[in-house]
């Protein structure tokens, strides 16, 4: 999600630590401004002597009444993404733009301002390091592509993968189980939206090429590093590259230790390797938009290894999978992991309901043993899928549905 992800990029913090959960809640709020905005990578780099510049979209709810701490050159969009008819805060002054492509098309304006900043910095501050952030509106809506790209990707179908518009999905999460295939008009809209997003990204690609060539012409291309991992790693990586101590409160890690450069005979050929002695994550955290009521969940303080140690002692996670078991724990030779049982597609609650409706021969008993369940499910897959679509949601699924709709 946009604002939570941007906030993580700026601060190096997970969502639960900077408290920006949606594109509205706490996004550029007073609490954010006083508590977290003063501790972005821009603040630390500015204090370390860097010339800092920001061009583009900042945060969804940014109202343009102030310049965030740490930025010496500031040109940021007021509120959410626009390509035309927008307002910028340019170093403290509100500047309105209209709908003239040559004067106002926002992606081009971001690129031109950034190129000008690079040239000016090279000329007047040649010995001073700089940080420049470019934040383009594409492929955000309203997907207004530059005129020269309007005829591209008109018949593209790359988004139509095997899982595209696939239904029914009785083994998936509740919202997919209760969602059918799209109507033809919705398919057409999805195709059109994908085309327009690809068209808007052409301006971004074009801008990256211009910046690349400008850095090369200025002799600064070899003075950059292009390997980035998670968004929370951006802030600590920037600080580490600049030789600034990474604060302990940041959740992310600098990727700099992962980059071992070996210069060949041709100095332009650089091989990036991962040193064997550097420990690095093999999993990462994905967070939902809002907290659930289980805010006091003790598992939130546990590492993945500690959590698995506890969970894998429970009978519902034992290996091998028993009939209707959803997940199993296993040891891959180095550590304990958890995975989905491949042949377990039906929840126990659904199986009980199906058996009560007597999807079985008349001479079967109501024995609930595994053997009887296997006999009662001696149906073709089409019958099962039809019946799964007609089933009612259980209480837990209803709670999830209500919570999802509120968000």
Inform me whether the pLDDT recorded for 231 exceeds 90: no
On whether the CB atoms of residues 401 and 174 are closer than 8 A, the answer is yes
Domains with residue ranges and CATH for the chain: 2-273 (3.40.720.10), 303-340 (no CATH), 348-406 (no CATH)
pLDDT in tens, 171-212: 888 888 888 999 999 999 999 999 999 999 999 999 999 999
CA distance linking residue 5 with residue 18, whole number of Å: 11
Tens digit of each residue's pLDDT (9 = 90 or more) over 269-320: 444 444 455 667 667 676 766 655 555 555 566 777 788 888 888 888 888 8
Say how far apart CA 221 and CA 118 lie, in whole Å.
12
Instruction: Check 2, 3, 312, 321 and give the catalytic one.
Output: 2
Q: Residue 215: in which H helix or E strand, if any?
A: helix 184-217
| Structure confidence at residue 298 (pLDDT) | 58
pLDDT score, position 381: 43
Instruction: Kindly report which listed range (110-119, 157-166, 363-372) carries the lowest average pLDDT score.
Output: 363-372
Distances from the Cα of 67 to the Cα of 30, 86, 160, angstroms: 13, 18, 43
pLDDT tens column, 357-401:
444 444 444 444 444 333 333 444 444 444 444 455 566 666 666
| Among candidate residues 94, 85, 98, 84, the one with its CA nearest the CA of residue 145 | 84
Residue 173: the pLDDT is 84
Identify whether 312 is a catalytic site residue: no
Predicted pLDDT at 334: 74
Q: Which pLDDT value is given to residue 347?
A: 45
**Tokens 């289980």 -> residue:** 294
Spatial contact of 209 and 146, defined as CB atoms under 8 Å apart: no
């Amino acid at each position: 999600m946009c604002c939570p992800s941007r906030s993580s990029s700026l601060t190096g913090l997970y969502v639960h630590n900077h408290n920006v959960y949606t594109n509205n809640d706490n996004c550029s709020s007073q609490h954010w401004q006083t508590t977290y905005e003063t501790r972005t990578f821009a603040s630390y780099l500015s204090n370390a002597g860097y010339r800092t510049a920001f061009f583009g979209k900042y945060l969804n709810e940014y109202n343009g009444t102030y310049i965030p701490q740490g930025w010496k050159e500031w040109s940021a969009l007021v509120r959410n993404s626009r390509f035309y008819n927008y307002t910028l805060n340019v170093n403290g002054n509100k500047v309105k733009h209209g709908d003239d492509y040559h004067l106002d098309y926002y992606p081009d304006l971001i690129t031109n301002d950034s190129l000008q900043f690079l040239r000016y910095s090279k000329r007047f501050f040649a010995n001073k390091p700089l940080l420049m952030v470019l934040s383009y509106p594409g492929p955000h809506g309203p997907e207004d592509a530059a005129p020269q790209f309007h005829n591209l990707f008109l018949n593209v179908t790359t988004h139509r993968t095997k899982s595209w518009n696939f239904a029914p999905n009785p083994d998936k999460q509740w919202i997919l189980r209760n969602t059918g295939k799209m109507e033809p008009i919705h398919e057409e809209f999805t195709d059109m939206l994908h085309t327009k997003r690809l068209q808007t990204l052409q301006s971004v690609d074009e801008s990256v090429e211009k910046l690349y060539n400008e850095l090369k012409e200025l002799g600064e291309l070899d003075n950059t590093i292009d390997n980035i991992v998670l968004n929370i790693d951006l802030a600590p990586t920037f600080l580490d590259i600049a030789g600034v101590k990474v604060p302990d409160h940041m959740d992310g890690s600098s990727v700099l230790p992962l980059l071992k450069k070996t210069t060949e005979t041709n100095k332009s050929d650089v091989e990036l390797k991962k040193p064997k002695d550097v420990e690095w994550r093999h999993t990462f955290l994905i967070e939902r938009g809002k907290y659930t009521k289980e805010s006091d969940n003790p598992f939130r303080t546990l590492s993945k290894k500690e959590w698995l140690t506890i969970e894998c002692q429970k009978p519902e996670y034992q290996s091998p999978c028993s009939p209707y078991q959803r997940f199993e724990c296993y040891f891959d030779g180095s550590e304990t992991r958890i995975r989905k049982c491949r042949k377990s597609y039906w929840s126990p609650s659904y199986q009980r309901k199906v058996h009560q409706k007597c999807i079985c021969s008349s001479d079967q008993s109501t024995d609930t043993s595994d053997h009887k369940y296997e006999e009662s499910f001696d149906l073709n897959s089409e019958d099962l899928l039809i019946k799964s679509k007609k089933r009612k949601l259980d209480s837990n699924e209803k709670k999830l549905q209500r919570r999802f709709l509120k968000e």
